[in-house]
Structure 1
Amino acid sequence: MPSGVVAASPGRVLVVGAGIVGLAIAWRLRRGGATVTVVDAEPPGEGGASFGNAGAISASSVAPLAMPGLLRQVPRMLLDPAAPLHVPVGYWLRAAPWLARFAAAARPAAVARATSALDALLHLATEQHHALAREIGAPELLRPNGQLYLYRNAAQLAKDEAAWAIRSAHGARLQRLDRAGILALEPSIGAAYQLAIFLPDHAHCASPLRYVRALAQAFTQAGGTILRDRIAALTVAEGRISGATGAGALHQADTVVLAAGAWSARLAAPLGYRIPLETQRGYHVDLAQSGITLTRPVIPADRKVFITPMEGALRVAGTVEFGGLDRAPDAARARLLYDDLAAVFPDAQVAKADGFWMGHRPCLPDSVPVIGPAQRVPGLWFAFGHGHLGLTGSAPTAEMLAPAILGQPTNRDLAPYAAERFARG
């Protein structure tokens, strides 16, 4: 048993989901002495969004997506097939209820609640990820070089002032840069971008997949178990959770943590939960020979993508596409990322790009993930819905949730993250 593990145990714990969120929780539970099994249809990090995300560790991303300024842009985006937000015509009716909730979440009181919840979850994310990376023997994956948000002019920056004010009010260090300041950090950025906001305390992960694999390896070496199976249903016996049914086996447990990302709502629904979880499908392209040297993630505000230096490649990741869990990826959406790259780095080489990837971000209308006990079903815990912040929120979610599952004293308030908030309308 590894150093730091104590004797206490909450019984047999089954974590459904081998993405970064599920494995971070499993690691914390195992370190706390629990007997933990992780089950997923895919190998660790290869399903959902963990494999292909932009790699950003964004502790100050406390402003929810539903902000009045963004809402004003949504109708135009919906009519533009090349816009960062896209809803295929055949999916409009399916997406409408979620978009209505999203609009309601932009009210000032709702924004304030979401901001408070996100700040309480994420404010130590950078430190928590550095600690986690050291524990699992992969500290080199975390790069503390900040993040750079680009703007063409002052009018464009003014559209985001409310979000930046929220971040600043919650302690984020922001540095406003002119063109000379941009070039001092990233000399390859094209002349179209004249202003920037630099967040020096942010970081990024140079290989999200290797991060998850290192976490999985550390977890199994510490005595945890990882199984391959596609979970079809959660099971209940005598009024409390009893495990899960997979395609290959019945997995019995005393405690279940549902961390299945965008698939979580399907598994929770038969237990009486109607959670408005939508998959916002994101794409990336990796360029092994881009001709661009980059030190940190660069985010052009008008393109709404992340351009991130990864191990062995430059990754361009972004777009928001509603389309559900079953629709095939759209190669045309991925091709737009090449235009995004060229807009920021006119000298980038794209001829040797290798295909594209599409993954499912589990998004809730208020941008606040579901974390905590399922009040309807004793023994069941939720940990999903982190949206664009799954990597950032994984280590903080584990730090927040694991002590509660283990029955340890904690002063963390899980009420703002409760699934039952949606039942209240």
Structure 2
Amino acid sequence: MTQAYPNATTSIQTRTQSGSGVDDADIAVVGAGVIGTACALELARQGYRVRVVDRDVPGMGASFGNAGHMATEQVFPIADTSLLMRIPGMLMDPTGPLRLDWRYLPRSIPWLMRVLWNLRASPYQASVAGIRALNEASLAAWKRLLTSIDKPWLLKHEGSLLVHESDATAGELAQAMARFTGQGVACESLDGERVRQLAPSLSERICGGLFFPETGHVIDPHQVVKDLAEAAEALGVRFTRAEVMAGQASDGGVRLQTSSGVLDVPRVLIAAGAHSASLVASMTGVRVPLDTERGYHLMLPREGDRLPMAVTSLERRFIMTPLAGGLRLAGTVEFAGLKRPAFMERAWRLRALADGLFSEPLDEAEATPWMGFRPSLPDSLPIIDRAGPEGRVWLAFGHHHLGLTQAAVTARLIGQFASSDQDGVAPGLPPLSPYRLSRFT
């Protein structure tokens, strides 16, 4: 049985009573993606009365279209020292694996400069350590969470592959393996024959690869969020479709201005992904350098049985994940902000990237493209913290391309705020110090 939050009665008594939007919730969660929904469920189990506010139904943002890969092996920041040299190519190639929209360049320069600043040895190693700490706890947290809602089968802990096609890239693969093993990431070097034993549909051109046993994938990212939301609703969590346009925090509580009116609650959890920055600024006074990686995927509904596990191409720099609804091709990154329309040619380009990787051509009938926004901070670490007046503003955003991977462990960390007035962390969870908002003040 879940223990109730010890100060729940006190929190209800201190609720702001001004205005017409007084709510009986103890906390409002802004954002119904995988992170916000997992946190809402965890908070409800701590005895909180929770209202989740999002303009869409649960799981319809970036959580809907992610690659589905539990990328615990990805312990390195999103950029490396080659980024600066790649910017001209990023500007010239609209369908390349990494694209920077030239119209967005002036706005992105401050963020890019902070990324480069974080590539210095000390901050870079701090980022690696922070990512690794979350990832090492992620699979166990997901198994615990999905088992608790009687849906453990949604997660396939069957490993993943990084494959290469040319003798010329064998050295690059060996370097990658050295980097992974140097950070304690379990991986095994395989020749081409062994790769095809694990994934028989791959073509003879695959020379070899790396197998990561402590990774996996979910069979349907959207279904995961829907099932978490259903479990949360069973515990009294209410989901409200409304856009949160502004917020204020004071010693008396938090006031949210929504498209459905004013909402007054004792505290708020901002888990709005790429849309979090303005709310954080208005409620904490801190302007976080949050930018957006626009991610694309192409879904092939007739190819769900083609692969047994997620497979990434070293040379082509994209991933293929078997889901219940088909084979998902994903992995391209675009920096163009939140407002420009999707450039779906980037999604359709994934068809060409898959050519030649399989012994038989993929069935592209009824393929569907998608684009979503990943929230990215310059050090590649999320913000998991509480801030604002009396610590009433809780924060869980900025997980860049690891939102799915790190959602369950993030929910457990947020649950620590509910179960204690201190910021102590339970055994098996990483310390909160790398994820503090204060690193941007």
The verdict on a shared fold, with TM-score over 0.5 as the criterion, is yes
1:58 and 1:125 in contact (8 A); partners too: no
Q: 1:264 to 1:162 in 2, by over 3 A?
A: farther
Query: Greater shift after overlay, 182-191 or 408-417?
Result: 408-417
1:55-93 per-residue CA deviation (whole Å, 9 max, x = no partner) reads 111223211122235555454344322310111221111
CA–CA distance in structure 2, aligned partners of residues 226 and 173 of structure 1: 39
Query: Greater shift after overlay, 164-173 or 186-195?
Result: 164-173
Q: Please show how residues 119-138 of structure 1 align to structure 2 within 5 Å.
A: 119-138=132-151
CA–CA distance in structure 1, aligned partners of residues 340 and 148 of structure 2: 38
Aligned residue identity for 1:259:
A
How far did 1:160 drift? 6.0
Matching residue within 34, 46, 50 for 2:48: 34
Matching residue within 227, 243, 262 for 2:274: 262
Q: Please show how residues 9-408 of structure 1 align to structure 2 within 5 Å.
A: 9-10=7-8, 11=11, 12-47=26-61, 49-69=62-82, 72-153=85-166, 155-159=168-172, 164-238=177-251, 241-271=253-283, 272-290=285-303, 293-345=306-358, 347-374=360-387, 378-407=391-420
How far did 1:226 drift? 1.3
Aligned residue identity for 2:277:
A
1:278 and 1:364 in contact (8 A); partners too: yes
1:67 and 1:106 in contact (8 A); partners too: yes
How far did 1:376 drift? 6.4
How far did 1:134 drift? 1.0
CA–CA distance in structure 2, aligned partners of residues 217 and 42 of structure 1: 15
1:62 and 1:166 in contact (8 A); partners too: no
Query: Greater shift after overlay, 386-395 or 226-235?
Result: 226-235
CA–CA distance in structure 2, aligned partners of residues 279 and 345 of structure 1: 32
Query: Greater shift after overlay, 223-232 or 265-274?
Result: 265-274
CA–CA distance in structure 2, aligned partners of residues 391 and 291 of structure 1: 20
Query: Which residue matches 1:415?
Result: 433
How far did 1:301 drift? 1.8
CA–CA distance in structure 2, aligned partners of residues 134 and 181 of structure 1: 32
Q: 1:111 to 1:376 in 2, by over 3 A?
A: farther
How far did 1:292 drift? 5.8
CA–CA distance in structure 2, aligned partners of residues 270 and 52 of structure 1: 29
Query: Which residue matches 2:6?
Result: 8
1:370 and 1:419 in contact (8 A); partners too: yes
Q: 1:379 to 1:161 in 2, by over 3 A?
A: farther
Unpaired segments ≥5 residues, structure 1:
none
How far did 1:127 drift? 1.2
How far did 1:246 drift? 0.5
Query: Greater shift after overlay, 151-160 or 380-389?
Result: 151-160
Residue 324 of structure 1 aligns to a residue in which SS?
Answer: coil
CA–CA distance in structure 2, aligned partners of residues 5 and 60 of structure 1: 34
CA–CA distance in structure 2, aligned partners of residues 53 and 395 of structure 1: 15
How far did 1:36 drift? 1.3
- Give the TM-score normalised by structure 1: 0.93
Residue 344 of structure 1 aligns to a residue in which SS?
Answer: coil
CA–CA distance in structure 1, aligned partners of residues 287 and 304 of structure 2: 48
Query: Greater shift after overlay, 207-216 or 112-121?
Result: 112-121
Query: Which residue matches 2:19?
Result: none
- Give the TM-score normalised by structure 2: 0.89
2:46 and 2:418 in contact (8 A); partners too: no
How far did 1:401 drift? 2.1
How far did 1:145 drift? 1.0
2:220 and 2:325 in contact (8 A); partners too: no
Query: Greater shift after overlay, 385-394 or 298-307?
Result: 298-307
How far did 1:159 drift? 3.9
Q: 1:357 to 1:231 in 2, by over 3 A?
A: same
Query: Greater shift after overlay, 241-250 or 365-374?
Result: 241-250
1:337-388 per-residue CA deviation (whole Å, 9 max, x = no partner) reads 1112224236233441332111101111111011101256731011000000
CA–CA distance in structure 1, aligned partners of residues 410 and 309 of structure 2: 25
1:9 and 1:33 in contact (8 A); partners too: no
CA–CA distance in structure 2, aligned partners of residues 81 and 293 of structure 1: 29
How far did 1:161 drift? 5.5
How far did 1:396 drift? 0.8
How far did 1:153 drift? 3.4
1:54 and 1:306 in contact (8 A); partners too: yes
Q: 1:348 to 1:267 in 2, by over 3 A?
A: farther
CA–CA distance in structure 1, aligned partners of residues 139 and 289 of structure 2: 29
2:311 and 2:321 in contact (8 A); partners too: yes
Q: 1:69 to 1:200 in 2, by over 3 A?
A: farther
